[in-house]
Amino acid sequence: MTTEATTANEGSAAPAQATPVAVEGVAPEVVVAGAEASAPAGEAASAPVRPEGLPDEFWDDATGVKAGDVWAALRDLKAEQEAKTADLPKDGEAYDLALPADLVLPEGAEVVIDKDDPLWADFQAIARESGVGKAGFQKFVGAFAKYQAAAQVADVETYTAEMGKLGANAVARRDSAANYLKANLSTAQAEALGGALISADGIAALETIIRLKSGPVAATGVGASAGSSEFEGTHGASRLEAIRAKQAA
């Protein structure tokens, strides 16, 4: 080899090593030397593919999945679930059956929750199975109390209307019938007929029975035997006629 040739070869620069560049759609291990990062000329970039079932609020047609919004929603959901779990009664702990502090009942209404009533045991079991928290159960207690109070108000209005049908001496007529029941019947029997004392027809029916009865006269509050000595020696129809004659006098 001549000196000139050797010198020429030594002066020639070796070709530069091409830097591998990853190409979209090709596995990371496969690279194309000297390729540019952009898609080849004439080949359009593939559009993002929307996951099936993804809600609209987490998708953008141009950029694809809104990853930030997805993670934020998951974070909020987790916090909500943790709060619900913390609000559930612990094992062996009952829900609070006290009336809500902000509950306003109608004047004169009174609601007492009987914690030993099996109804409340069932309600608590259902609430626990359904994941209802303490705050949510308090709303249920408040609703129950509200409707109980409304029923009481309706009963009072109905009773007032019934007493109005008996006239100005309605209270005296009611009390007279009640005293008669107490004086002439056992406690259980008097209580069984006590429902008649809340309606005009019921009180009138008791008054009719009292007038027709040939036994002791209706109690007046002084005693069941008051005035009965006037009819001693008379019985049955004769006694009834004597009583009627005295009342008509």
Q: What is the pLDDT of residues 21-44, one digit of tens each?
A: 444 444 444 444 444 445 555 555
Closest CA to 216 of 180, 172, 191: 180
More confident residue, 63 or 80: 63
More confident residue, 92 or 122: 122
Considering the domain architecture, whether residues 140 and 195 belong to the same structural domain is answered as no
pLDDT of residue 70: 83
Residue 60 pairs with which residues in a beta bridge?
A: 64
Q: Does residue 196 belong to any structural domain of this protein? A: yes
Considering the domain architecture, whether residues 173 and 242 belong to the same structural domain is answered as yes
pLDDT of residue 19: 47
Considering the domain architecture, whether residues 121 and 189 belong to the same structural domain is answered as no
pLDDT of residue 164: 95
Considering the domain architecture, whether residues 180 and 225 belong to the same structural domain is answered as yes
Q: Domain ends where: 160, 195, 215? A: 160
Considering the domain architecture, whether residues 111 and 139 belong to the same structural domain is answered as yes
User: How sure is the predictor about 242, in pLDDT bands with cuts at 50, 70 and 90?
Assistant: low
CB 206 within 8 A of CB 181: yes
Q: Does residue 82 register a pLDDT over 70?
A: no
Considering the domain architecture, whether residues 171 and 229 belong to the same structural domain is answered as yes
Considering the domain architecture, whether residues 189 and 156 belong to the same structural domain is answered as no
Q: Does residue 134 register a pLDDT over 80?
A: yes
Q: What is the pLDDT of residues 90-106, one digit of tens each?
A: 777 888 899 998 999 88
Q: Does residue 239 belong to any structural domain of this protein? A: yes
More confident residue, 78 or 211: 211
Q: Does residue 94 belong to any structural domain of this protein? A: yes
Q: Which residue is associated with the tokens 């006694």?
A: 239
170 vs 111: CA distance, rounded Å: 28
More confident residue, 176 or 244: 176
Q: Does residue 229 register a pLDDT over 60?
A: no
**204 is in which domain, residue-wise?**
167-248
More confident residue, 225 or 201: 201
Token readout for 227 is 């005035």
Q: Does residue 52 belong to any structural domain of this protein? A: no
pLDDT of residue 5: 46
Considering the domain architecture, whether residues 156 and 97 belong to the same structural domain is answered as yes
Considering the domain architecture, whether residues 197 and 127 belong to the same structural domain is answered as no
CA 128 to centroid of chain Cα atoms: 13
Q: Does residue 175 belong to any structural domain of this protein? A: yes
State how many domains the chain has. 2
Q: State the chain's mean pLDDT as an integer.
A: 76
26 vs 43: CA distance, rounded Å: 15
Q: What is the pLDDT of residues 148-204, one digit of tens each?
A: 999 999 999 999 999 999 999 999 999 999 999 999 999 999 999 999 999 999 999
User: How sure is the predictor about 59, in pLDDT bands with cuts at 50, 70 and 90?
Assistant: confident
CB contact set of 238 (below 8 Å; sequence gap of 6+): none
Q: Does residue 105 belong to any structural domain of this protein? A: yes
CB 243 within 8 A of CB 231: yes
Closest CA to 43 of 23, 14, 70, 29: 23
Q: Does residue 84 belong to any structural domain of this protein? A: no
